[in-house]
Structure 1
């Protein structure tokens, strides 16, 4: 693929690329890593304050929107607000990180630069991507100040997605495109499954284990429900097609019972359901309720299911101009333009559905090999390549 940027615009691209500074990206990413924002277990406010400082230095303006005490979303804007005449480009990220956990070779929140890598919790997911996005937007703003650019940074992405849910209460805006800066190892992700978290509660009847027939065993019934979930998962996988394959089921946790001598009267299942684009959590809940009804049997147990969280998926056609522009931007950086689907979930589906804009995921770092692990790290060369690719992409989207 070749970049759609014409010769007329080449000087803008060259000037913007010249403004991207790798040392500044590393310094800003390091400041964000120092602003520990573990979720659950802390708040994102300290990281939001750092984002405000960076944005102000780069010429952007930040607007907080409080989601919960100590947990504000922040929208950082460069240039005018988007309008029907001049739609904006939206970049998306989140300020929280997963808990550091055990196994680190040094303090997780003391960033370390060594041998071309930046190490620290959030280096990959996704404070490195935030620093690269801000650097790119500031560079574009310097050469094209009339373009509306926005970086939306939400809270609570790693847990219950309350930050993006709060954003959905705002009116839709005219965005030309959304670029999610999550780590894709600099591949262009055009399709992403959504996710639904569900809970199943099984209610039985306690009895002495010496006469189990006097009770109703909630764990036994829960096992049958888990069996139905496994069978339905296999049914969906057999019909897998396209980039995303199929929806999936997975039982992530089972809890119940009081001891070996008591027939358990309660058991709870926590269930993950990956959603195909266009599917909803309500649909998954309906399927699960139908499966529960078939699995219950006549042993005296009852069961109910509830939807705890929903994150929609999205899919952008690989031939869409946004995808072509992203591929061209990577090729201009000497990178392979890989077009992929993602097995993880992200908040891009909310944006695609709410604002009606084409969406891709493109960011530095490896979501499976580096994120959510001890000694999380990102290659510094990928941070600067991402920033330059973002700048090229934004300018290529200019009408």
Structure 2
């Protein structure tokens, strides 16, 4: 096979596109196989889909290793090229529950108008299938690669990544210079370099337990917490505006309290999910929450009973921001442009494994096919041609990446 590096750029791009277009049918079949395997997390069972990935690596004669932090929660890492780890492209094997509202069986993929429907086609088995077809191309052009390219299929992304990406980076299994995470949607028109932080706060209301027949003999903690949550809607966060990220948000995702219908609850709690900006931190956020708590307390100042609103941090995941001048970002843009795709730099409210990678010294950004609005939705779909184009752009990136 003629080395692509000796071809003129236009001819090189044509050869890349021709290769992936010719593999479209195979990509579709491979994706259908992956979707037919239920890897709903929990419990995960990623090993079922990992067998398909493993078979591809074996067929392509790509060296790979298997890692499991827990039995059945499989991570696979294939290696192509020589030298130091340069780039990792990681997709996840697990999916969210299918839920209701599907027009077709979520685990029996259907193709209509060049779109495949099924649970996980977008998040994240479509991109995974595309990277496996990419692996075939890279293996054929292995001598032209500037370093070692890793194709990873990881576990547990939908439930925190403790058994997946977090495990792989903490054990220094992945130590590449760069990473591309195809888990943001964006139809190849976005490169995500910033993510909000996540702060889960347990808001606990403490009142006075009493008898349901004599409510005046207690202070209902549910009433106290409810008033707090109502006032929380108008909270004034202290922060500086960010060019890529929207204003901070807060939502009560869980609430519990009370032991019996005829007992005035003395304690209840809600878990607040706060998405915050780089200009904020847990200290400033707690200060803002306490101001709302003091306003709430004024409504109960005539109560003869002591009461309190307390806050405990259950999770703190710091915001992420990658320097937009990093060479990887410019390379993604220039490579995409050769295929008439012009991705813009964005930030996002959600979170990806880019955080874990960047925290461990691997510069990671999000770049992916697919419609963001169908993530975790019934009738999830992916445009098959977009997957082909995604593979082509990745191939160009891998060939032109520099150490």
Instruction: Give TM-score, length-normalised by structure 1.
Output: 0.85
Q: Deviations over 1:62-88 (max 9, x none)?
A: 322222332123222223462xxxx41
* Cα separation, 2, equivalents of 1:396 and 1:164: 26
Which residue is 1:65 aligned to?
Answer: 67
Provide the secondary structure at the position in 1 that maps to 2:65.
strand
CA pair 278-340 structure 1, distance change in 2 beyond 3 A: same
CA pair 75-201 structure 1, distance change in 2 beyond 3 A: farther
Q: Deviations over 1:263-317 (max 9, x none)?
A: 122322121111335867x658855775687468475345554444444432223
Report how far residue 198 of structure 1 moved. Answer: 3.4
Which residue is 1:332 aligned to?
Answer: 338
CA pair 296-151 structure 1, distance change in 2 beyond 3 A: farther
Q: Deviations over 1:225-282 (max 9, x none)?
A: 43564344x4357x433111343222223232356643122322121111335867x6
Provide the secondary structure at the position in 2 that maps to 1:43.
coil
Provide the secondary structure at the position in 1 that maps to 2:158.
coil
Q: Is residue 350 from structure 1 mapped to residue 348 from structure 2 by the alignment?
A: no
Report how far residue 390 of structure 1 moved. Answer: 0.9
Report how far residue 325 of structure 1 moved. Answer: 1.2
CA pair 131-176 structure 1, distance change in 2 beyond 3 A: same
Check conservation: 2:187, 2:369, Cα contact below 8 A: yes
What is the Cα-based RMSD across aligned positions, in Å?
Answer: 3.0
Which residue is 1:364 aligned to?
Answer: 369
CA pair 31-307 structure 1, distance change in 2 beyond 3 A: farther
Check conservation: 1:198, 1:307, Cα contact below 8 A: yes
Check conservation: 1:90, 1:175, Cα contact below 8 A: yes
Which residue is 2:148 aligned to?
Answer: 148
Report how far residue 364 of structure 1 moved. Answer: 1.1
Check conservation: 1:92, 1:151, Cα contact below 8 A: yes
Which residue is 2:396 aligned to?
Answer: 392
Check conservation: 1:202, 1:222, Cα contact below 8 A: yes
Q: Is residue 244 from structure 1 mapped to residue 245 from structure 2 by the alignment?
A: yes
Matched residue count: 386
Check conservation: 2:238, 2:288, Cα contact below 8 A: no
Report how far residue 178 of structure 1 moved. Answer: 1.1
Which residue is 1:47 aligned to?
Answer: 49
Pairwise mapping of residues 95-174 of structure 1 onto structure 2 (< 5 A)?
95-145=93-143, 147-162=147-162, 163-171=164-172, 174=175
Unaligned regions of 5+ residues in structure 1, if any? none
Check conservation: 1:189, 1:360, Cα contact below 8 A: yes
CA pair 157-42 structure 1, distance change in 2 beyond 3 A: closer
Report how far residue 97 of structure 1 moved. Answer: 0.8
Report how far residue 32 of structure 1 moved. Answer: 1.1
* Cα separation, 1, equivalents of 2:259 and 2:117: 44
* Cα separation, 2, equivalents of 1:88 and 1:118: 32
CA pair 256-351 structure 1, distance change in 2 beyond 3 A: same
CA pair 59-224 structure 1, distance change in 2 beyond 3 A: farther
Higher mean displacement: 112-121 or 319-328: 319-328
Which residue is 2:207 aligned to?
Answer: 204
* Cα separation, 1, equivalents of 2:12 and 2:338: 15
Check conservation: 2:238, 2:284, Cα contact below 8 A: no
* Cα separation, 2, equivalents of 1:201 and 1:322: 45
